[in-house]
């Protein structure tokens, strides 16, 4: 019997059958990701001689949150993927909602990050070096302060815009997966799409700066695609509430109007904890 075709990580945006594989393939649980706050299972998924690794997060394993309805985190993860695809940036790995070994949950393509690519750092001094953006001061032991910085990277800047659109309340360093070919993926989007401003992120380096022309063009296209009976609007209606979907379009329009990266609102912690 021939070995299954392994789908390489970078092909997630180019291989036409990836969503079919994730949706219809047989899931085999290989282990548990212990660092995750909710149940997250490392799995393989196989269909018609094709096989890939994935993450399966069953709804049954979601811990209740005081500010989100129970049992909705998996759908928010899928909605984040749909918004990412609508931007054309491909920042979120292919993600589907499906039944699995422990009931309904989200299934997402596994991405192997490149450990040699550094996007976050703690440095001495008050100003970042060239190629880096300052986030803020942090204590690194014995009361010694250090400057938290992130790379001045085009992929990160695109992600900062996407996070503002989906109102990401938990953008940590461990959610950033740069790949050896230079692409950037981002994961863990369960705490998103709240109707109130809940943006918490490590990507504040561009706060208050003008949005790029590329970002403004993407936001214009998003604004148009979120209206009426569009496929994107219909898909979001299946995943989040009407008020949450309306808030997405409001945030897109607010970003277009200001034409700047958002700044911390001050009524909510700006940086998630723990930050990594």
Give pLDDT, residue 156: 97
Counting residues of the chain whose pLDDT is more than 70, the rounded percentage is 91
**In angstroms, rounded to a whole number, what is the distance separating the alpha carbons of residues 83 and 93?**
12
**In angstroms, rounded to a whole number, what is the distance separating the alpha carbons of residues 34 and 251?**
34
Give pLDDT, residue 78: 98
Each residue's pLDDT tens digit, 103-156: 999 999 999 999 889 899 988 888 899 999 999 887 666 667 889 999 999 999
Each residue's pLDDT tens digit, 172-190: 999 999 999 999 999 999 9
pLDDT at residue 102 is higher than 70? yes
**In angstroms, rounded to a whole number, what is the distance separating the alpha carbons of residues 78 and 184?**
18
pTM to 2 decimals?
Answer: 0.91
SS3 state of residue 101: coil
Instruction: Tell me the two tokens of residue 143.
Output: 């009361």
Mean pLDDT score of the chain: 90
């Amino acid at each position: 019997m021939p070995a299954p075709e392994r789908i390489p990580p970078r092909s997630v945006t180019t291989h036409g059958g990836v969503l079919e594989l994730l949706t219809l393939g047989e899931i085999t649980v290989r282990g548990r990701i212990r660092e995750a706050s909710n149940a997250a299972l490392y799995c393989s998924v196989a269909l018609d001689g094709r096989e890939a690794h994935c993450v399966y997060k069953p709804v049954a394993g979601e811990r209740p949150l005081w500010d989100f309805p129970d049992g909705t985190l998996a759908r928010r993860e899928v909605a984040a993927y749909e918004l990412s695809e609508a931007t054309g940036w491909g920042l979120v790995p292919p993600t589907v909602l499906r039944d699995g070994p422990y009931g309904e949950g989200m299934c997402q393509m596994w991405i192997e990050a490149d450990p040699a690519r550094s996007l976050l750092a703690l440095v001495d001094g008050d100003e970042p070096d060239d190629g880096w953006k300052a986030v803020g001061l942090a204590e690194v032991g014995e009361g010694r302060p250090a400057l938290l910085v992130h790379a001045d990277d085009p992929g990160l800047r695109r992600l900062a815009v996407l996070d503002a659109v989906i109102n990401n309340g938990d953008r940590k360093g461990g959610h950033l997966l740069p790949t050896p070919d230079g692409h950037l993926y981002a994961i863990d989007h369960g705490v998103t799409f709240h109707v109130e401003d809940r943006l918490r992120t490590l990507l504040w380096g561009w706060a208050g700066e003008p949005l790029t022309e590329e970002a403004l063009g993407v936001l214009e296209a998003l604004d148009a695609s979120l209206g009426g009976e569009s496929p994107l609007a219909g898909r979001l209606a299946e995943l989040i509430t009407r008020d949450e979907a309306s808030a997405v379009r409001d945030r897109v329009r607010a970003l277009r109007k200001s034409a700047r990266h958002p700044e911390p609102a001050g009524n909510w912690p700006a940086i998630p904890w723990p930050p990594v």
